Chains A and B, each alone.
Chain A
Amino acid sequence: DAGITQSPRYKITETGRQVTLMCHQTWSHSYMFWYRQDLGHGLRLIYYSAAADITDKGEVPDGYVVSRSKTENFPLTLESATRSQTSVYFCASRGGRSDTQYFGPGTRLTVL
């Protein structure tokens, strides 16, 4: 049982390109989250989803798009990547509102 996985683990892209980061969890957790981690800023929430077909913005949603057609998947798309989106992206999930949040291994994205 893999738990929560992210792909790719590393990605290099160029400014202006579209990039999709994948997140998959096998626990049937209701909630899923996307964070970015940058030096000096800690972990910042990009988007989250309380259930399939329900998504909401976090602190830093600009430039990102999410969808959640299936409970187990929560892809994050950078529609037109910018250098400021170079970061480590973490996906997370939890079962219920008060449950523990578990994180994926992260995706290191570099935008040139």
Chain B
Amino acid sequence: AQKVTQAQTEISVVEKEDVTLDCVYETRDTTYYLFWYKQPPSGELVFLIRRNSFDEQNEISGRYSWNFQKSTSSFNFTITASQVVDSAVYFCALSEASRDDKIIFGKGTRLHILP
């Protein structure tokens, strides 16, 4: 069965602190893709990153970094030196190469960055 779990429903941190959002996934496919999306208060869903199952290299993009570990089926997202503009709901998602249809979303983590 496919599943994405974001155990942290809501997190609050003070601006400039680092914060890590956890994502654990389940899949039987050997080829799959992992994503993070951001949903700011304005409501749109913004794509952040895509990772395929054969590439475990960590990725850094500015203040954002992602840690993909197949051994623990995790794809965690870290924001360094958080800013108020990072306040949003963040979704982790899984897509399996064998499936034509949807990607499976986690329930999301609501992140509050306090000034």
Contacts and interface: CB of A to CB of B under 8 A. Distances in A.
B101 A56 contact: yes
B43 interface: yes
Nearest to A40: B107
Given A100-B35, A100-B47, A102-B47, A42 B105 contact: yes
Interface of B: 31, 33, 35, 37, 43-45, 47, 50, 52, 91, 95, 97, 99-103, 105-108
A74 interface: no
A79 to B, nearest CB: 22
**Chain A contact patch, size range:** 20 to 34
Contacts of A98: 31, 33, 52, 95, 97
A45 B101 contact: yes
Contact of A48 (B31, B47, B52, B101): B101
19 contacts: A31-B100, A42-B107, A45-B102, A56-B100, A56-B101, A58-B101, A59-B102, A90-B45, A97-B97, A97-B99, A97-B100, A98-B31, A100-B35, A101-B35, A101-B95, A101-B103, A103-B47, A105-B43, A108-B43
Instruction: Classify the interface of chain A: helix, strand, loop or mixed.
Output: strand
Contacts of B106: 42
A49 to B, nearest CB: 10
B43 A88 contact: yes
A48 B44 CA distance: 19
B20 to A, nearest CB: 21
Contacts of A33: 102
Nearest to B46: A103
Contact of B44 (A43, A97, A106): A106
Nearest to A102: B47
Contacts of A105: 43-44
Q: Which 4 residue pairs of A and B lie closest in terms of their CB atoms, listed nearest first? A: A103-B45, A45-B102, A43-B105, A100-B50
Nearest to B103: A101
A56 B35 CA distance: 23
A42 B100 contact: no
